[in-house]
């Protein structure tokens, strides 16, 4: 005799009776070591945004985030690898929770990979009586759904209080932007916030002019996105340094807006110039230069200078850039992960380019003695990858963080600065 659940999910072998849970409160009573829980919803809900009609957001404690929608983009070998990297153990009894169609799709794939003991919790996560986990500043990493509500003037959680600006950020002329961009979005060329020779931030006077031309005050909510979100994150760190109180990043960038099926518009939008309303920079501690980087290196127990560069860059097999000749790393810096090369950041992104789970990020860093009790500064080649990682640390609630503006480019430009190659001995 088959139960209704077995008929509905024929590929699933259910748990033995002593392990069965049908609600999140039941789940909380089971030993953590005996089971694993997979949150197969969007990472935005996992991070803390409530689903429609639900009272609160976040995820069940220690749940692994694996959005079922990613399945459409993954080949079987890559799927298996990504599940393992996410912390999924194929031999453990497993609980899934997301809407029924998504849960069924993921359960079928897990079953094919040998995960036999599967069950699905259909109760809304907001009904769990315990504390949900969420990123401390999750509201600064927004979804396309939230942004659409803000553009439409609909009532939304964490809505801007004093007006907002949407800004697309990229290097060079607005070629792609002019053809299609998020409605009302302005355009920011990174050449207006960075300058040669090291591609550090522009001087404060030039920065003030750029911010004024975008119509941004210190109390304007600014939502940034890019075709490559490292550019948007670079602008985010600089606006935060300048003193904008509420800077947000579109989780997944332009790709997330397109995937959501929302409309775009062509041509250039312009803003009316406004006075910023406070001195620039108002938060100078968020971006540091070579002298401060040296000070961090002098106290590795309480401070960390973190390299957000590929492993090949870190050990000196490549500089990563055609215009940077020296290879290696800043001596004493710790490896914070990055991606396959200087132009990718796969280690910090899900298949849909959204931010990966904070648990995974912190596990990277713990292996290298990097933790949130320290003063932590991130660097890369010229600041883009470091800025995206800085912003993720910010939404995770890390306090004493900054971007080392000059990064490897400026540091390696002075032979007096110590550098190293090869694999470090920890």
Q: Are 142 and 251 in contact (CB under 8 A)?
A: yes
Whether pLDDT at 30 is above 60: yes
Is the dihedral angle over the CA atoms 358, 364, 365, 371 positive or is it negative? positive
Q: How many CB atoms lie within 10 A of CB 72?
A: 9
Q: How confident is the model at residue 16 (pLDDT cuts 50, 70, 90)?
A: very low
Mark whether 11 is an active-site residue. no
What angle (nearest 5°) sits at the alpha carbon of residue 259, between those of residues 85 and 62? Answer: 35
Cα 81 from chain centre: 20
Q: How confident is the model at residue 19 (pLDDT cuts 50, 70, 90)?
A: low
Report DSSP letters for 346-379, one per residue: GGGB-TTSPBPPHHHHHHHHHTTT--TTSEEEEE
* Catalytic-labelled residue, pool 11, 40, 98, 380: 380
Q: Average the pLDDT over 303-318 and give the result.
A: 98
**What is the pLDDT at residue 337?**
98
Q: How confident is the model at residue 156 (pLDDT cuts 50, 70, 90)?
A: confident
Whether pLDDT at 334 is above 90: yes
Domain spanning 4-127: CATH 3.50.50.60: no
Helix count (H) and strand count (E) of the chain?
15, 18
Nearest to 133 by CA among 67, 64, 60, 66: 60
Read off the pTM: 0.94
Per-residue pLDDT tens over the stretch 72-89:
999 888 999 999 999 999
Pairing of strands 194-195, 200-201: antiparallel
Domain ranges of the chain: 4-127, 138-280, 285-420
Cα gap 417→415, rounded to integer Å = 5
Cα gap 249→89, rounded to integer Å = 32
Cα gap 200→19, rounded to integer Å = 56
Asked if the domains at 4-127 and 285-420 fall in one CATH topology, the answer is yes
**What is the pLDDT at residue 9?**
38
In this structure, which topology does domain 285-420 adopt according to CATH?
Oxidized Rhodanese; domain 1 (3.40.250)
**What is the pLDDT at residue 291?**
97
Q: Which CATH class is domain 138-280?
A: alpha beta
């Amino acid at each position: 005799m088959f139960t209704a659940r077995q008929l509905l999910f024929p590929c699933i072998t259910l748990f033995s009776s002593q392990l069965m849970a049908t609600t999140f409160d039941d789940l909380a009573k089971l030993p953590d070591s005996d089971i694993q829980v997979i949150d197969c919803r969007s990472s935005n809900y996992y991070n803390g945004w409530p689903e429609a009609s639900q009272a609160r957001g976040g995820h069940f404690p220690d749940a692994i985030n694996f959005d079922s929608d990613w399945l459409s983009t993954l080949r079987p070998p890559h799927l298996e690898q990504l599940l393992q990297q996410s912390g999924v153990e194929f031999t453990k009894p497993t609980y899934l929770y997301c809407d029924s169609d998504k849960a069924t799709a993921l359960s079928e794939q897990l079953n094919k990979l040998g995960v036999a003991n599967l069950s699905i919790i259909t109760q809304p996560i907001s009904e769990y009586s315990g504390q949900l986990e969420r990123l401390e500043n999750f509201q600064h990493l927004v979804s396309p759904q939230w942004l659409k509500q803000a553009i439409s003037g609909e009532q939304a959680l964490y809505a801007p209080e004093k007006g907002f600006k949407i800004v697309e950020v990229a290097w060079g002329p607005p070629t792609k932007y002019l053809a299609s961009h998020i409605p009302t979005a302005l355009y920011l060329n990174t050449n207006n916030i960075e300058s040669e020779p090291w591609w550090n931030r522009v001087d404060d006077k030039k920065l003030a002019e750029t911010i004024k031309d975008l119509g941004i005050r210190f109390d304007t909510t600014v939502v940034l996105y890019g075709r490559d979100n490292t550019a948007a994150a670079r602008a985010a760190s600089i606006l935060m340094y300048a003193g904008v109180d509420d800077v947000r990043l579109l989780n997944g960038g332009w790709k997330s807006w397109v995937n959501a099926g929302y409309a775009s518009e062509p041509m250039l939008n312009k803003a009316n110039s406004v006075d910023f309303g406070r001195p620039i920079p108002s938060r100078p501690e968020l971006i540091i230069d070579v002298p401060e980087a040296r000070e961090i290196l002098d106290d590795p127990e309480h401070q960390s200078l973190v390299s957000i560069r590929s492993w090949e860059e870190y050990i000196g097999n490549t500089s990563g850039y055609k215009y940077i000749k020296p290879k290696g790393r800043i001596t004493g810096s710790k490896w914070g992960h990055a991606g396959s090369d200087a132009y990718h950041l796969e280690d910090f992104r899900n298949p849909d380019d959204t931010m990966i789970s904070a648990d995974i990020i912190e596990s990277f860093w713990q292996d290298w003695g990097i933790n949130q009790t320290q003063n932590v500064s991130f660097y890369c080649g010229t600041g883009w990858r470091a800025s995206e990682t800085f912003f993720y640390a910010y939404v995770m609630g890390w306090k004493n963080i900054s971007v080392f503006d000059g990064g490897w480019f400026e540091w390696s430009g002075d032979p007096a600065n110590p550098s190293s190659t090869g694999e470090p001995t920890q």
